[in-house]
Structure 1
């Protein structure tokens, strides 16, 4: 078995399936010449992600399309059409909440940030199958975006491809925004409205002690509002999820982010009387940035704790 990894590189010559737009670059690639991959075939529900175990050559690519204001549907549609024109049948397709949101994303194997970026509030997924002489071939597409770029993860599982027949290219016209200039950023929703409509809310006013995972001393308006909301909905559950900037290792940042989320959970229980059965702490490290990590302002925005409504009914 051989595994080859390439990150942050220009167009490669490995065989693949699709013609990407001219302003796309292959940001990362991983190939397992003989392996297996769980292909999602349904939405996350009841604690499980329906999947099919596919075996063969596993090729995983991350593509970055440099353009502002792209929509995930705009990115996915031409790739989907190429697959169906090539004889693939769509097995499953979904968008964000219909996929299962946070749980779907983290039960799906994704090339890590910053090579492949996934916005937990805006992504689309598609899995497709094609059979040749009863031998199945699977392709999955995970599409998301940032303010300045679109991102696509392509996974192909099947027998080794014929490089003379199937070559990934970037000869299609460049993909540009269908809404230039990008729409102005909308004002943040109040906590109650955000949790009802979007299922998550960033606790913007929290302050942690310097170099520590402990929540700072004092009252925080967002915690009081969150505690009231949780106690008003005793049938629901919530996760406090910590996030960090990209400085340091992923493992260290995940540990730090979970500790900070746990500090918020303790404050909600001890100071606000929230039922501990309704809340949990999770850490996501730097895997879901909301701004660039190249500036101090961006890194500050990425250091945050948000609450996610994890109820399914």
Structure 2
């Protein structure tokens, strides 16, 4: 188990505190680490709204770290949940958390501080953010997490602001397991959704060149509908994806319309409450296979269901 170790001793006398050390899965490796003795950081504490991103300016020692986790189908939800558990166990208060569109999507991503590629990667259709604070005597520890994905990896950015730190205190109270890395092929649609936070609805068929869902008995929709109808507090976002054939703008439109077609089927055929289902489409921005082969392009043309918080 790898741990994020951040430590710095300043020449000038200053109070020191224990810094969070987050347990990471074995396949994780740090892509960037930067420590500034005294700097400020505008930490987002709300979603982008009305042209603004709510943030608090915090000052102190600033540590910026990025990690790449090469574990196939590990979801942003699974990664964030494990890191969140560790922060809470260490006494951090969660100030704000959001995912993708609820954060503000494109506007949020480009209004907050993110380490550049190739150190950190952010998929506009699949990222999660968390801001936390911990009282540390006369000072406070502020901590932000940003988790996203690429085709073969999860990515984590951590920014910590506070007093100079002493020896790190492990937060290894939550373990990453094989369940976080990949879906079991024997799992049902709902089991995969609950375990990993998302599932590809892989039996859907759309009429060639259109956004219309072909008539048929789709096991994935029946299972998803049963899951949602069982508890009205459950919510999902349907996200449409395309292959890389054609311009992004046109593919985003197609992907959104296909996600909406699936939503209509869940509502009209299975009686799901419309308030439980949101939709989005991101074109070819989040491939799960190579677009250089027909097999890969077919896999990339898909609709996924993502667990989301009630709005």
Please report the TM-score for the alignment, with normalisation by the length of structure 1. Answer: 0.56
Residue equivalent to 2:116: 112
Residue equivalent to 1:166: 169
The CA deviation at 1:45 is 0.3
Separation (CA, whole Å) in 1 of partners of 2:120 and 2:173: 18
Taking structure 1 as reference, are residues 171 and 121 closer, same or farther at Cα in structure 2, changes over 3 Å only?
A: closer
Taking structure 1 as reference, are residues 203 and 290 closer, same or farther at Cα in structure 2, changes over 3 Å only?
A: closer
Gaps of 5+ in 1: 1-9, 208-219, 230-287, 302-313
The CA deviation at 1:114 is 2.0
Q: Is the 8 A contact 1:60 1:153 kept in 2?
A: yes
Taking structure 1 as reference, are residues 177 and 81 closer, same or farther at Cα in structure 2, changes over 3 Å only?
A: same
Residues paired across the two proteins, number: 211
Q: Give the alignment partner of residue 205 of structure 1, picking from 242, 246, 269.
A: 246
Q: Is the 8 A contact 2:241 2:286 kept in 1?
A: no
Gaps of 5+ in 2: 8-18, 186-198, 214-236, 258-283, 298-311
Q: Is the 8 A contact 2:47 2:108 kept in 1?
A: yes
Taking structure 1 as reference, are residues 133 and 187 closer, same or farther at Cα in structure 2, changes over 3 Å only?
A: farther
SS of match in other structure, 1:74: helix
Residue equivalent to 2:6: 14
Q: Is the 8 A contact 2:48 2:104 kept in 1?
A: yes
Question: After superposition, where does 1:210-249 map in structure 2 within 5 Å?
Answer: 222=250
Please report the TM-score for the alignment, with normalisation by the length of structure 2. Answer: 0.56
Q: Is the 8 A contact 1:116 1:152 kept in 2?
A: yes
Residue equivalent to 1:97: 101
Residue equivalent to 1:210: none
The CA deviation at 1:31 is 1.5
Say if 2:51 is the partner of 1:47: yes
The CA deviation at 1:138 is 0.5
The CA deviation at 1:290 is 4.3
Question: After superposition, where does 1:25-104 map in structure 2 within 5 Å?
Answer: 25-104=29-108
Separation (CA, whole Å) in 2 of partners of 1:47 and 1:127: 20
Separation (CA, whole Å) in 2 of partners of 1:63 and 1:170: 19
The CA deviation at 1:134 is 3.7
Taking structure 1 as reference, are residues 57 and 72 closer, same or farther at Cα in structure 2, changes over 3 Å only?
A: same
With 64-73 and 90-99 compared, the bigger mean Cα shift is at: 64-73
The CA deviation at 1:133 is 2.1
Q: Once superposed, what is the RMSD of the aligned Cα atoms? A: 4.0
Separation (CA, whole Å) in 2 of partners of 1:59 and 1:171: 23
Separation (CA, whole Å) in 2 of partners of 1:31 and 1:112: 16
Separation (CA, whole Å) in 2 of partners of 1:54 and 1:192: 50
SS of match in other structure, 1:107: coil
Taking structure 1 as reference, are residues 171 and 100 closer, same or farther at Cα in structure 2, changes over 3 Å only?
A: closer
